[in-house]
Amino acid sequence: MANTWWELQILCEPDLEDSIFWRLEDFGCRGTASENKGNSSLVRAYLPTIQTELLDLAALSLWLRQDALCVGVLSPSLQWQLIDEEDWATSWKQYWHPQEIGDRFLINPAWLPLPETTERLVIRLDPGVAFGTGNHATTQLCLESLEMRLSGVSQSFVGSSGKHEHLVIADIGCGSGILSIGALLLGAEKVYAVDNDPLAVQSTFSNGALNDISPERLLPALGSVDVLTKLIASPVDGIVCNILAHVIIELIPEMNAIAKPETWAIFSGILLEQSKAVADALEQNGWVVATLWKRKEWCCLNVRRS
């Protein structure tokens, strides 16, 4: 890991915040947070200097301005400074606060005390360098979709332990493990979580332990769908996949190998203008879109086998 980091500070209109998060993730940022500054949002993000030159930051500034032009809002201002690794590890965390998502979840940063009283399912999270803090619209849409999906499972599938007995889910591109943990807290019996980034796999392991999830229920591994086919004994009941649209389209044909006729799936990380291309790829491979949920310029597809 790099010894020094770029800290980026982007002052923007709130309507631009989600597209900035997407742009920063695509750019390779590790750790993002935002706070309100009057009528504006201040987004902070962090990049290891070993992978980023000053010219890259200038290009990022240009892209952010172009994104603002496309949606018709004022251009954001981007500033950057160098910080040491020790400062990076703690600086962005001070701007990240507990957050309620949907009707059931509360995301609680691991370094903050748990609420004394809450009826919500608490996900304790230290994402480190992995994507998935609950701040991004795509993560929120996935958690809300899981909440609706698992709340709607027939009670005949729910055992005395409160678990959805034999309900096995695959989390493709697990990041911090937030969706895997959310599914398990909602009662799924087991989640296989895969990611191509070893730091994300480690983050999922760590966050599983933070939430007292037994290793038998959360099984992270390095890789993608091809690795899942070797890990699972039989096709899964559900799939969650919060990654970029072009990656989803590439992976859809492979997913039939881990699905059965009644398998459902939740896909996000998709911009609204990309939704038709993803839906077309799904239909060509035996899936049908049941619902499309959107938040600002992002959407989440809830699908089932056709």
**What per-residue confidence (pLDDT) applies to 242?**
94
Asked if residues 299 and 286 have their Cβ atoms less than 8 Å apart, the reply is no
Q: Which two tokens stand for residue 156?
A: 């005949």
Specify the pLDDT at position 50: 80
CATH code of domain 4-95: 3.30.70.260
Write the DSSP assignment of 218-255 as a string of letters. Answer: EEEEES-HHHHHHH-SS-EEEEEEES-HHHHHHHHHHH
Using alpha carbons, list the distances in angstroms from residue 178 to 6, 33, 203: 26, 16, 10
H/E stretch holding 85 reads helix 85-91
Residues 116, 133: contact at Cβ < 8 Å? Answer: no
Whole-number Å distance between alpha carbons of 269 and 249: 12
- Cα 281 to Cα 276: distance, rounded to the nearest angstrom: 9
Kindly report each contact of residues 117-123 with a partner whose C-beta sits within 8 Å and lies 24 or more positions away, as own/partner: 121/182, 121/185, 121/186, 123/178, 123/181, 123/182, 123/185, 123/211
Burial class (CB in 10 A: 0-12, 13-18, 19+), 162: exposed
The answer to whether 227 and 194 have CB atoms below 8 angstroms apart is yes
Domain boundaries, the chain: 4-95, 136-305
Q: What is the CATH number of domain 136-305?
A: 3.40.50.150
pLDDT for the residue numbered 128:
67
Residue ranges of the chain whose pLDDT lies below 50? 1-2, 154-161
pLDDT of residue 130: 60
pLDDT of residue 89: 63
- Inter-residue contact 184 to 123 (CB < 8 Å): no
CA distance 114 to 124: 8
